[in-house]
Amino acid sequence: MTVQRIDPSGLHAAPGLISQLVVTTGRRLVHLSGQVAWDSHGRPTGGDHAAQAAAIARNITTALAAVGATRDDIVKEVIYIAGYTPEVLQPVLTALREGAGTAPASTLVPVPALFAPEYLIEVEVTAAIPAPPG
């Protein structure tokens, strides 16, 4: 059971922020629905991109814990950002990586809007966790 993160020469490397390739063997995949910055009652939280990314990281941590996983088990993420400008990239990635030791393969998609105007970011992830014995 392995997870290998690779940044091949010839491709731009952004260590700690993204991995260009993630290869897994002997694992099962966990697909998490897109997470936004809402609390456990569905109320919006966080007023800017960085605060919403931090709230989303907490939601992802909570969801993954339900299957015994952590954010270090994330192998792929897609980040949808409404109101994207290049200045929001670093604060968003910093907040999403806070407390995680590894970076997943990542895609950023600027969008005109999400499902409600108060939400600026939605993140969907796939995690790879050990296969059950047997």
For domain 2-130, give its CATH number from 3.30.2350.10, 3.40.50.720, 3.30.1330.40, 3.40.309.10. 3.30.1330.40
What is the residue-averaged pLDDT of the chain? 93
Residue located via tokens 């991109």 = 49
Model confidence pLDDT, tens digit, residues 18-52: 899 899 888 899 999 999 999 999 999 999 999 99
Q: Is residue 133 over pLDDT 80?
A: no
In what side-by-side order are the strands of the sheet with 121-130? 27-35, 121-130, 74-82, 105-111
Q: Is residue 134 over pLDDT 80?
A: no
Give pLDDT, residue 128: 95
For the chain, give the percent of residues with pLDDT over 90. 78
What does the radius of gyration of the chain's CA atoms come to, in whole angstroms? Answer: 15
On whether the CB atoms of residues 29 and 126 are closer than 8 A, the answer is yes
Say how far apart CA 62 and CA 66 lie, in whole Å. 7
pLDDT band at 17 (very low <50, low <70, confident <90, very high): confident
Average pLDDT on 87-108 reads 94
On whether the CB atoms of residues 129 and 66 are closer than 8 A, the answer is no
Model confidence pLDDT, tens digit, residues 44-68: 999 999 999 999 999 999 999 999 9
